[in-house]
Amino acid sequence: MFTQRIYNFSAGPSMLPLPVLERAAAEMTNYAGSGMSVMEMSHRSKAFKAVFDETKALMREILSVPDTHEILFMQGGATGQFAAVAMNLMGVTGRADYAVTGNFSSLAAKEARKYGEVHIVCDTSDKNHTYIPREADLTLSPDAAYLHYCANNTIYGTEWDYVPAAPCPVVADMSSNILSKPVDVAAHGVIYAGVQKNMAPAGMAAVIVEKSLLGREMPITPTILSYKTMVEKDSMYNTPPTYNIYMLGLVLQWVKEMGGLAGMEELRELRAGMLYDFLDNSSLFTGCAERGSRSKMNVTFRTASPELDAKFVKEAASQGLVSLGGHRIVGGMRASIYNAMPVEGVRKLVAFMEKFELENK
Amino acid sequence: MFTQRIYNFSAGPSMLPLPVLERAAAEMTNYAGSGMSVMEMSHRSKAFKAVFDETKALMREILSVPDTHEILFMQGGATGQFAAVAMNLMGVTGRADYAVTGNFSSLAAKEARKYGEVHIVCDTSDKNHTYIPREADLTLSPDAAYLHYCANNTIYGTEWDYVPAAPCPVVADMSSNILSKPVDVAAHGVIYAGVQKNMAPAGMAAVIVEKSLLGREMPITPTILSYKTMVEKDSMYNTPPTYNIYMLGLVLQWVKEMGGLAGMEELRELRAGMLYDFLDNSSLFTGCAERGSRSKMNVTFRTASPELDAKFVKEAASQGLVSLGGHRIVGGMRASIYNAMPVEGVRKLVAFMEKFELENK
């Protein structure tokens, strides 16, 4: 039982900024004099339309989304987008390129195979996904309808530090690093993100799609996954996840107040730097990802034994540093340090690791 | 600007019980001593698993869902289910029967045509969807994979008072009347409901599916719409809409405290009775739906002119009786009186209608 807020290192859903939660609580039964909760508003009402428009405008501003691209809020999370990307874009040539650098990019490729031919341009499973390939090593197809990559690999703790160039539209799954640093939107045909890590409560995908790519969908595409329909109806073909959109708006306001993406990038460098510096000097803990490929959102590490890993995770939790266990596929530890993780949380984690190291030499 | 809570007659999203909102607000930054919001919890955490299991168990208990049926929480709302139903069930014979009694059943049939042949067993557009057909008038096919009907037609204000019998599984869209009265779950192969009217915040569909129907899906079914996968993974193939599930749990607890479905049915009879009694004795207002087909969730009515309708909607709103405008397809007025609408709200509405009638004779 914790009477205070704790530091939650979960990979997603994950921490939200405290001021955002406090404002949501304060507005829960009467939003801005509407006499009702945002949850209760008709999505066609003026009051909700204002929330929606402001959220979309803030997202365009903060992520510097050019006019060539449209912003969509869709249901189904990133997993829904695995199918949506293929159904909306693959029909042109019937094949697509996929960079496999972890579990979710592998699942994305698997889903795409339902709708066409998939060519794997790299597969980092040869070294248990501990690295990101060099651009020169990607074996791109001449006739792919698009190239798909996952910008940050939550489970393995690796992150692309470049946008791969390709002769076709580039599609990025940015679920676990969107809003954490500036991004070249124009270099992408589609960017999508399940919102539950760095944006809002689970249950939505934010999608940025280049308008020139619309209208290529397969006839079997379910309407809720059709980019064209969603653009035409401004994400309101059916009732959108209204409260998630409102919460995203509050998070975006917080990001803006904190200095936008430049401010977020400074913080991510600071948080990740503290952890990696400690790992590089530790005789007990080892980082899992290769140095040049390390994620600044998900820091994976381990001790010499699964037993000691388990002890660490358990003792940390008792100190209010929770959800530090690695994903069940890989074991070990993982500290997910998204935008909303206070620097103080990482400081406490490093202090605890120091203490644990001394006690378990 | 309203400093107090108002009565919101929106067709969806719509009112939630005030005690539910107050509890959600109180638990927003620290749920049950977890030190975090439910929004921030890993969906794999013990704390969230408890929320999930309790919500599912309450839904099974309150709706008397038999062991032959599984309960799923999916993203994409009812519109997502329009595709899911067809993709999961239609493959058996390649055709399905649809009862068209309004806008949403028509959209469901349209979506299903992407995946097979659709036979329309009734189409009430001959009388602008103001009635529900008699069971004897449904022209069922001998070889349909399923029969689909929409149990309550939000826009037109009509409601089925029987479950149609068919030689195939019966599928019901209960988005706008689920949890408002006892329902014979065993008589259905699938029941689904977008949660934003009578259950929880928008962004989820609650689905009850007969286990014997699993595994018939088309190979092109997106994983997020696969009943089989969702059953195998207990609605957690991917990150579920965790906060919607939590809110549904709070609503279900409230329903149970209020006497379960019997209690909800008493209230719906009371609310609808007050409104229809007034309409039947009014010389200014007329009910839109035929008497035997009237919905007890959405009461549609009008005056003699669109101008007077608009005046009514505007003046009512100034009294804190909001969202009384009819759907843009039909105009007129609509009072949506779901479970969370207090009887007092309907009393105030009727009193306002009386006053308006006197002033506008």
CATH number at residue B349: 3.90.1150.10
How far is C-alpha B117 from the chain's CA centre? 26
Give contacts of B40 with chain A, Cβ < 8 Å. Answer: 8, 10, 13-16
pTM of the model: 0.98
Q: Look at residue B351 and tell me whether its pLDDT is greater than 90.
A: yes
Q: Among A2, A43, A83, whose Cβ lies nearest the Cβ of B13?
A: A43
Q: Nearest 5 degrees, angle CA B168-CA B172-CA B177?
A: 155
Confidence category of residue B94, pLDDT binned at 50, 70, 90? very high
Residues B216 and B169 in one domain: yes
The answer to whether the Cβ–Cβ distance between B26 and A24 falls below 8 Å is no
Produce one character per residue of B81-105: b if its CB has 16 or more CB atoms within 10 Å, e if not. bbbbbbbbbbbbbebbbbbbbbbbb
Residues A105-158 have pLDDT tens digits of 999 999 999 999 999 999 999 999 999 999 999 999 999 999 999 999 999 999
CATH of the domain at A81: 3.40.640.10
Residues A115 and A96 in one domain: yes
Residue A71's region, left for phi above 0, alpha for psi from -120 to 50, else beta, is beta
Structural domain that includes position A312: 260-359
What is the structure's pLDDT at A334?
A: 98
Number of domains comprising chain A: 2
Residue ending a domain, choose from A202, A228, A257? A257
Q: Look at residue B1 and tell me whether its pLDDT is greater than 90.
A: no
Q: Among A39, A43, A79, whose Cβ lies nearest the Cβ of B223?
A: A79
Residues A243 and A266 in one domain: no
Q: In the structure encoding, which two tokens stand for residue A30, read together?
A: 């009467």
The answer to whether the Cβ–Cβ distance between B75 and A75 falls below 8 Å is yes
Average pLDDT over residues A208-219: 97
Direct distance between the N- and C-terminal alpha carbons of chain A, in angstroms, rounded to an integer: 30
What is the structure's pLDDT at B361?
A: 84
User: Per the domain annotation, does B223 fall within a domain?
Assistant: yes
What is the structure's pLDDT at A1?
A: 83
What is the structure's pLDDT at A250?
A: 98
Residues B29 and B126 in one domain: yes
What is the structure's pLDDT at A56?
A: 98
Longest dimension (CA), chain A: 62
Average pLDDT over residues B331-350: 98
Residues A223 and A250 in one domain: yes
Residues A252 and A312 in one domain: no
Average pLDDT, rounded, for chain A: 97
User: Per the domain annotation, does A34 fall within a domain?
Assistant: yes
User: Per the domain annotation, does B343 fall within a domain?
Assistant: yes
Residues B282 and B248 in one domain: no
**SS3 state of residue A7:** strand
What ipTM was predicted for this assembly? 0.98
Residues B95-128 have pLDDT tens digits of 999 999 999 999 999 999 999 999 999 999 999 9
User: Per the domain annotation, does A4 fall within a domain?
Assistant: no
Residues A95 and A154 in one domain: yes
Interface contact A64, partner B, CB < 8 A: no
Residue ending a domain, choose from B236, B257, B278? B257
Residues B151-182 have pLDDT tens digits of 999 999 999 999 999 999 999 999 999 999 99
User: Per the domain annotation, does A1 fall within a domain?
Assistant: no
User: Per the domain annotation, does B1 fall within a domain?
Assistant: no
Contacts of A246 (CB under 8 A, 6+ apart): A24, A38, A51, A55
Share of chain A above pLDDT 70, in %: 100
* Cβ neighbour number for residue A11 with a 10 Å cutoff: 23
Residues A104 and A223 in one domain: yes
Confidence category of residue A361, pLDDT binned at 50, 70, 90? confident
User: Per the domain annotation, does B239 fall within a domain?
Assistant: yes
Residue ending a domain, choose from B257, B280, B306? B257
Residues A9-25 have pLDDT tens digits of 999 999 999 999 999 99
Whole-number Cα distances in Å, A8 to A128, A250, A325: 26, 20, 11
Q: At what angle do helices B343-359 and B260-280 cross, to 10 degrees?
A: 10
Q: Look at residue A321 and tell me whether its pLDDT is greater than 90.
A: yes
Q: Look at residue B289 and tell me whether its pLDDT is greater than 90.
A: yes
Residues B275 and B309 in one domain: yes
What is the structure's pLDDT at A164?
A: 98
Phi, psi angle pair for A194, to nearest 5°: -65, 130
- In A, minimum Cα distance to B218 occurs at A114
How far is C-alpha B141 from the chain's CA centre? 27
User: Per the domain annotation, does A84 fall within a domain?
Assistant: yes
Q: Chain A closest CA to B318's CA: distance in Å? A: 12
What is the structure's pLDDT at A52?
A: 98
Residues A127 and A160 in one domain: yes
Residues A151-202 have pLDDT tens digits of 999 999 999 999 999 999 999 999 999 999 999 999 999 999 999 999 999 9
Residues A331-344 have pLDDT tens digits of 999 999 999 999 99
Residues B288 and B330 in one domain: yes
Whole-number Cα distances in Å, A189 to A97, A145, A209: 14, 11, 6
